[in-house]
Structures are given as structure tokens and as C-alpha cells.
């Protein structure tokens, strides 16, 4: 069931950017030429604007990559703020929402969620997907019906997707699955791999979909089942993502059961490396940080979720210095705003250390663009250069938040003051997905969100 974007125009298309972030620097009057969905050339200082070129007013940057998403969590926004509790009590509310979804309702919800992402400047999403089977755990006629619903939703919303199909086999260390979790499981890693192989083949020819692998967590995949997942991802050169040390309780349980931290356990089974991304990585020892860094394992920070769930502040800068590329995700979608995720990486570190200036704005932009796309298996995206995928986002600089910005500090202003509401245009594969703050493919995104979320809780 391959997913493809509508065919690109047979003739090259031109976009003239008032300002653009090119090669890590702000350039003016930048002409981007596009052919067959890729950038064919980037020329700075072009004036006047060519008559046929689309004018992109504001600052144009490579498209944003939302590396970690659970689309159905969007339905919980606000609903879990009426009580206190912990991550574990929040999880029960999340399970209750998951129990109501089938392929049709999930496609509707995910289309609206991905459209919200597009409006926020996102051009590629990593969907950490484990709602595989029916609510009672039985297989759909097509065992990948839920995965197809997500790829179809991304197509409808006009963004790229890496479907990170997740192995989820246990309710915890030496703990059986509960009734809700049964739908997450294929029984063992071999059957998981067989199902994912069908997905991989279905999208092998797609230029809008990648299929990746994920280990939900070391508590949800028994240690003897980890090597087959790692081997399958390696054999097929797939991205491999894993929730890592999000909660202290996970670390404590892993140490009690295996006498290793979750990071050490993953290292022991060969799961770390440059195709692997550790999500959250909140509670790490120095040894953990060194293992991730020396193996070039990426770290995905999701600050708006980590603070919403009271997880803690992860050692993003220490991981970066140790050699781990850092990228960003909106995870539970407490909000969908990659600018907020980016600045939170710096601002949370300031709160922790009582010192400013850990990250340059250019480094945070790279985390939100090039590093994120690399983590999702899109190495040709995330840069404004010839040969790159023609995916880019334009931020309006004439809003109340950004009015008065000068080119010399445009990157800093965007990282530390912009919001999703400032996204003016989004181009994916050389076509507008968002134009003048309006989604070009999905009408009434708020209405679609309200309807699909209302259907879950009716």
C-alpha cells in the first residue's frame, strides 16, 4: 500500500526567500529552485525577485522534524490536567483513550494531528506506533491496518512519516500484559518482525514513507527478545528508536532484574549505534551518557512532555558533548510547537545549572531540522542545499512576537521567541502544504480535531 505525494510539476519551480538559513548562516534574497521534489540550486543575493518565483516573506528554514510522536495522545490534551498524580496514573488515562481507536477513527484523528503539525512547520514526523491490533488484541484482516491508517493520515496532511513500528511484549519486567496492552503485542519478536517486514515491503517504493523499528522500552521487551529486534533493524538498515530511562522507576526495576541500567542493557545486546535514537534519556548516569555518546546514538528530547509528566530534565547538553546528536519531539502533544521544544532544551538547562548559554541558536535549529531528519531515516532532508529534499518552512517575522527582528539575530529571535502560530508557509516536496497560515490540503483543522477527539470520549 505505497503512499506517494501528488506528482511534482514537470517544470522546475522557484521560491524566492526574503531571508533564509543556509549553511548555518542567515542569507538574504535567496532563490531556491526545485525540480522533481528536490532542491536543484540555492543562490543567495538574487535581486530583483524573478517574476515567476513564489515569494516567501519571513525567515525560511529547512522543514522541522518531529522525531517522537504518539498521535493518539493528542486526545488527552487538557484532560489530564484536572488532577495531580504521576506518570503512571497519567498512563491509565492514556490507555483508556487507546482502547477506543480502530483503523478508521485513528486515521481521522491522526490526519488532524498531522495537519496541526504541518501548521506548526513540521515536514516529517516519527510516529512511535504500538496500537497494532484490535482493542481486544485480535488481528485485523490486514495485521497492519493501524499502521496503514497512520501513513494514509500523513499523506492526507501532506507531511512525510517514518512509521516506527514498535515491539511491545510485556507489561513490565516479568509482568504479563494487561487487558489494554494486549493490542500492542505480536506475541514475540519473530512475529513482530514478520508483520513489520510486510510493512517494509509495502512502502519500499514510497518517497513519503519510511518504516523504522522501535523497542518500546527495556521493561516492555524481555531481554531475550531484544536481539531479534536489533538484528531485524540492522539487516534492513532501519532507524531503531527506544524509550530510555524516562522514569527513575524504570531504572530501579532494570537494576533489580538485570544488574544493569537500561542503557547498559541496550549496549549489551548491541542496540546502540548511529541508527539508534534514545527517546527522553532523562535519568542517565555518566556511564550511560558515555555509552550513548561513544556509539553516536542520538538522543531525542521532548521537553514539553517531560515537564508535563514531571519526568525531570534530561542531560541533553552532556549527551551532546559526549557525541550524541540531539533532536526533538512533541511526544504526548501537550503542545505541538518545535520552537518551544528547542528553546526548552536551553532554558531548562539554565534552570538546572543557574547559568546561561549552553546551546547556540544554530545548534538548536540543527537539532530541529537536519539532526531530526537523520534520526528518522531522511538524510537528504533538513538542509537548504542542492540535492536536498525540497522541504522547508517559512516563519513570519511581522507578528507581535517577532516584529522588529533584524537579519543579524533572526535565528536567535526565532528560537527564543517564535511559536507555531508564526509559521506562514510550509513546502513539502516542492509543493505548499501550508500557505499563508492555512493548510492547503486539510480544511478546518480545528474542527477535524474536535470531531475526532469528541468521537473517542463520547
Residues involved in catalysis:
280, 331
Cβ–Cβ < 8 Å for 371, 325: yes
Phi, psi dihedrals of residue 94, rounded to the nearest 5°: -65, -45
Cβ–Cβ < 8 Å for 401, 417: yes
**DSSP state, residue 8:** P
Cβ–Cβ < 8 Å for 414, 339: yes
Q: Please give the grid coordinates belonging to residue 82.
A: 484536572
Q: Please give the grid coordinates belonging to residue 15.
A: 521560491
* Cis omega (within 30 of 0) for bond into 118: no
Question: What does the alpha-carbon distance between residue 439 and residue 437 come to, in Å, rounded to a whole number?
Answer: 7
Question: What does the alpha-carbon distance between residue 55 and residue 76 come to, in Å, rounded to a whole number?
Answer: 38
Which residue shows C-alpha cell 531515516? 377
Q: Is the dihedral of CA 229, 230, 233, 234 positive or negative?
A: negative
**DSSP state, residue 60:** E
Question: What does the alpha-carbon distance between residue 418 and residue 62 come to, in Å, rounded to a whole number?
Answer: 15
Residue 418: name the closest of 438, 436, 439, 395 by CA.
395
Q: Please give the grid coordinates belonging to residue 248.
A: 527513575
Question: What does the alpha-carbon distance between residue 126 and residue 65 come to, in Å, rounded to a whole number?
Answer: 8
Q: Is the dihedral of CA 357, 363, 365, 371 positive or negative?
A: negative
The string of DSSP codes covering 92-144 is HHHHHHHTT--HHHHHHHHHHHHHHHHHTTEEEEEEEE---S-TTSPPPSSTT
Q: Please give the grid coordinates belonging to residue 313.
A: 530534565
Question: What does the alpha-carbon distance between residue 217 and residue 6 come to, in Å, rounded to a whole number?
Answer: 37
Give the max Cα distance, the chain: 68
SS (H, E, C) 289-329: HHHHHHCCCEEEECHHHHHHCCCCCCCHHHHHHHCCCEEEC
Residue 66: name the closest of 236, 241, 262 by CA.
241
Amino acid at each position: 500500500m505505497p503512499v506517494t505525494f501528488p506528482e511534482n510539476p514537470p517544470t522546475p519551480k522557484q521560491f524566492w526567500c526574503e531571508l533564509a538559513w543556509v549553511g548555518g548562516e542567515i542569507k538574504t534574497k535567496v532563490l531556491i529552485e526545485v525540480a522533481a521534489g528536490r532542491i536543484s540550486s540555492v543562490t543567495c543575493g538574487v535581486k530583483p525577485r524573478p517574476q515567476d518565483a513564489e515569494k516567501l516573506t519571513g525567515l525560511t528554514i529547512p522543514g522541522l522534524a518531529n522525531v517522537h510522536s504518539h498521535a493518539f495522545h493528542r486526545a488527552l490534551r487538557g484532560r489530564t490536567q484536572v488532577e495531580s498524580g504521576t506518570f503512571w496514573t497519567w498512563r491509565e488515562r492514556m490507555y483508556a483513550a487507546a482502547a477506543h481507536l480502530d483503523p478508521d477513527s485513528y486515521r481521522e484523528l491522526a490526519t488532524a494531528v498531522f495537519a496541526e503539525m504541518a501548521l506548526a512547520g513540521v515536514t516529517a514526523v516519527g510516529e512511535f506506533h504500538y496500537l497494532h491490533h484490535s482493542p481486544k488484541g485480535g488481528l485485523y484482516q490486514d495485521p497492519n491496518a493501524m499502521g496503514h491508517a497512520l501513513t494514509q493520515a500523513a499523506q492526507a496532511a501532506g507531511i512525510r512519516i517514518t512509521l516506527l513500528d514498535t515491539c511491545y511484549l510485556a507489561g513490565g519486567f516479568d509482568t504479563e500484559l494487561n487487558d489494554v496492552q494486549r493490542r500492542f503485542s505480536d506475541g514475540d519478536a519473530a512475529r513482530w518482525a514478520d508483520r513489520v517486514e510486510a510493512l517494509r515491503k509495502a512502502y519500499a517504493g514510497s518517497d513519503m514513507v519510511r518504516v523504522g523499528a522501535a523497542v518500546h522500552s527495556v521493561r516492555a521487551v524481555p531481554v531475550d527478545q531484544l536481539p531479534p529486534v536489533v538484528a531485524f533493524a540492522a539487516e534492513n538498515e532501519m532507524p531503531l528508536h527506544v524509550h530510555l530511562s524516562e522514569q527513575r522507576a524504570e531504572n530501579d526495576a532494570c537494576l533489580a532484574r538485570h544488574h544493569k541500567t537500561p542503557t547498559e542493557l541496550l549496549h549489551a545486546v548491541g542496540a546502540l549505534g548511529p541508527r539508534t535514537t534514545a527517546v527522553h534519556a532523562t535519568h542517565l548516569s555518566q556511564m550511560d551518557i558515555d555509552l550513548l555518546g561513544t556509539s553516536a546514538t542520538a538522543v531525542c528530547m521532548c521537553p514539553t512532555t517531560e515537564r508535563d509528566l514531571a519526568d525531570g530534565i534530561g542531560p541533553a547538553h552532556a549527551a551532546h558533548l559526549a557525541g550524541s546528536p540531539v533532536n526533538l519531539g512533541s511526544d504526548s502533544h501537550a503542545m505541538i510547537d518545535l520552537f518551544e521544544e528547542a528553546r526548552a532544551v536551553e532554558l531548562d538547562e539554565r534552570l538546572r545549572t543557574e547559568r546561561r548559554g549552553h546551546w547556540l541558536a544554530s545548534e538548536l535549529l540543527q537539532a530541529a531540522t537536519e539532526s531530526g531528519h537523520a534520526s528518522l531515516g531522511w538524510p537528504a532532508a533538513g538542509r537548504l542545499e542542492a540535492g536536498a529534499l525540497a522541504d522547508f518552512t517559512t516563519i513570519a517575522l511581522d507578528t507581535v512576537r517577532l516584529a522588529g527582528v533584524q537579519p543579524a539575530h533572526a535565528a536567535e529571535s526565532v528560537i527564543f521567541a517564535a511559536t507555531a502560530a508564526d509559521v506562514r508557509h510550509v513546502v513539502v516536496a516542492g509543493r505548499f502544504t501550508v500557505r499563508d497560515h492555512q493548510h492547503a490540503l486539510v480544511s478546518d483543522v480545528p474542527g477535524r480535531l474536535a470531531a475526532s477527539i469528541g468521537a473517542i470520549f463520547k
